Amino acid sequence: MLPFISAMKPHRTELYQDVPSTCWPIVYSPDYNITFMGLEKLHPFDAGKWGKVIDFLKEEKLVVDDLIVQAREATEDDLLVVHTRRYLNKLKAGKLAVDRGWAINVGGGFHHCSSDKGGGFCAYADITLAIKFLFERVQGVSKATIIDLDAHQGNGHERDFMDDSRVYIMDAYNRYIYPGDGFAKRAIKRKVELEWGTEDTEYLQKVQTHVEGALNELKPDIIVYNAGTDILDGDPLGGLAISPQGIVKRDEVVFKAARSRRIPILMVTSGGYQKRTARIIADSILNLHNLGLIDKELATSGVENPKVEQMLRNSVADLSKLSLQ
C-alpha cells in the first residue's frame, strides 16, 4: 500500500521550481549516466544512453545546454511521498508536462519498482512518484493514464495503483518474459499481450487501436508514456522485432493521440539494451518536433500550428495511412 497522504499538507519541496519559458520541457542530468570503473560495459543496460540522446539532439541543433531543464535530486521527504524507505531520485517532469503540454524526461521509466521494493534494473518508482506529486500538488489533476509500451510488463506502477480508480493503466508487453507478475496484471485496464517476434505492422495496429481505445474510455488530466526501446529487433531482453522506424512511428501515434485531445503528456524512455537505442530515441524526438507535436511554446489550450491541426484531423484515426519512412 502507498503511504496515505491525501489528507496531509504537502511538504516543502525544491523539485517544482519555475522553469523559464525559454527552456525546452526536456529534463536531463549528466548524473543519469552511470559508470563504475568500466564494469558497466559488462551489463546489458547501456548506462550512458541518456547522455548520448542529448548529444544527438545537440548535433541536430535542437537543444543546447542552457535550454534543457536540469534535473534536481529528490530529498528523503520527496521520496517518502511514495516509498517506505529511501531511494536515489531525480526531478520528475510531471508538472512541467501539465504547464507546457508535454515533457520528456531523458531517462526514467523505472516501471518494475513499486513503493516497497525495486526490481529489474529499477531502483525507485518514478512513474508512481510523478503521478502522486501531481495529485497532491497540481490543481485540476485528478485522473492519470499510464501508457506503458516497454517490452516488459510494468508491474511496479501496477502494484502501486492496484486499487486506485484515478489511474488507468494500458500495458503492451511480451507475454513470455520478465516479470510475469500475475497479481500486478489485475491493475491493467487495457492489457495487450504480445507474442515473440511481433513485427511493425501488427504492433503498430495494436498500439493505435488500444491507445485510442484507452483515451476514449477515460480522458485523463495527464498521460505518463513509458516509451521503452527494448521492443527493438535484436534486443537481448525484449524478444520483439520492431524496426527503428516502427519505434519512431509508435511515439508519433501516442503523441498525436494526446495532442488531438489536448491532454498533457510526460514521456520517459525506460528500457532499451542495444547501443543504437540512443540514436533512435533522438530521432523520435526530432520527428515529433518536425511534425509540430512538440515545441517550446506548444500549450494544451490548443494546437496553434494550422498544419499540425490539419495533420491531426487527417491521420490520428487511421493507422493504415501512416507510412513508415
- Give the residue numbers marked as catalytic: 112
Given a contact cutoff of 8 angstroms between Cβ atoms, the answer to whether 301 and 262 are in contact is yes
SS (HEC) of the chain: CCCCCCCCCCCCCCCCCCCCCCCCCEEECHHHCCCCCCHHHHCCCCCCHHHHHHHHHHHCCCCCHHHCEECCCCCHHHHCCCCCCCCCCCCCCHHHHHHHCEEEECCCCCCCCECCECECCECCCHHHHHHHHHHHHCCCCCCEEEEECCCCCCHHHHHHCCCCCCEEEEEEEECCCCCCCHHHHCCCCEEEEECCCCCHHHHHHHHHHHHHHHHHHCCCCEEEEECCCCCECCCCCCCCCECHHHHHHHHHHHHHHHHHCCCCEEEECCCCCCCCHHHHHHHHHHHHHHCCCCCCCCECCECCCHHHHHHHHHHCCCHHHCCCC
Instruction: Return the number of other C-beta atoms located less than 10 Å from residue 175's C-beta.
Output: 13
Strand partners, 170: 147, 190
Calculate the CA 86 to chain-centre distance: 23
Nearest Cα to Cα of residue 290 among 19, 57, 65: 57
Dig out the grid coordinates for 186 from the structure.
489485475
